A and B are shown apart, each in its own frame.
Chain A
Amino acid sequence: MDDKQEIYLSIINEYRDKIIRLCFAHLDNRSYVDDIFQEVLLAVWSGLERFKHEASYGTWIYRITVNTIFLFNKNERKRRIEPLSGNFTSSSINEFEHKIQEEENLKILYEAISNLVELDRILIALYLEKLSYEEIGSVLGISANHVGVRLNRIKEKIRKQLNKQ
Chain B
Amino acid sequence: MDQLIDIWQSVGTDQRNMDKKYKAEDLIPQIVRLEKNQRKVLQFKTIGALSVMFILLLFFFTQFTLSLNGIIGIGILSTSILAVVIILNRLRFRISDQERSLSMHNLLEVTESKIKTEQRLFTIYLPLFLLFVILGINLMYVEYFIEMETRTRIFYHTILTISMVVAFLLGLSIRIKRFRKRFQPLLNRIHKFKSDLDNH
A-to-B contact residues, CB < 8 Å: 5, 8-9, 12-13, 16-18, 20-21, 24, 37-38, 41-43, 45-47, 50-51, 60, 63-64, 66-68, 70-71, 73, 75, 79, 81-82, 84-88, 92, 95-96, 99-100, 103, 105-106, 109, 117-120, 122, 128-130, 138-142, 146, 149-150, 155, 158
Q: List chain B residues, Cβ under 8 A from A138.
A: 103
* Majority secondary structure, A binding face: helix
Known contacts A20-B12, A41-B31, A109-B8: A142-B22 contact under CB 8 Å: no
Q: Quick check: is B43 within 8 A (CB to CB) of the other chain? A: no
Main secondary structure of the interface of B (DSSP, over half): helix
Q: Which chain B residues have a beta carbon within 8 Å of chain A's beta carbons?
A: 1, 4-5, 7-16, 18-28, 30-31, 34-35, 38, 95, 97-98, 100-107, 111, 182, 186, 189, 192-193, 196-197, 200
A140 and B194 alpha carbons, distance in the complex (Å): 11
Complex contact A70–B104 (CB within 8 A): yes
A1 to chain B: closest CB distance in Å? Answer: 9
Which residues of the other chain, B, contact A13 by a CB distance below 8 angstroms? 24
Name the one of A37, A84, A118 contacting B193, with C-beta atoms under 8 angstroms.
Answer: A118
B97 contacts A16, C-beta separation under 8 Å: no
Query: Which residues of chain A have C-beta atoms less than 8 A from B20's C-beta?
Result: 86
Bound form: Cα–Cα A9–B196 in Å: 35
Question: Least Cβ distance of B2 to chain A in Å?
Answer: 10
* Nearest CB in chain A: distance from B33 CB, A: 8
Given the complex of chains A and B, what is the CA–CA distance between A73 and B95 in angstroms?
12
Partner of A43, one of B9, B97, B111, B192: B97
Q: Please, how many angstroms separate the alpha-carbon atoms of A50 and B96 in the complex?
A: 12
Contacts of B105 in A (CB 8 A): 140-142
Closest to B109 in A: A141
Q: A92-B18, A103-B7, A109-B7 are in contact. Are A67 and B100 (CB under 8 A)?
A: yes
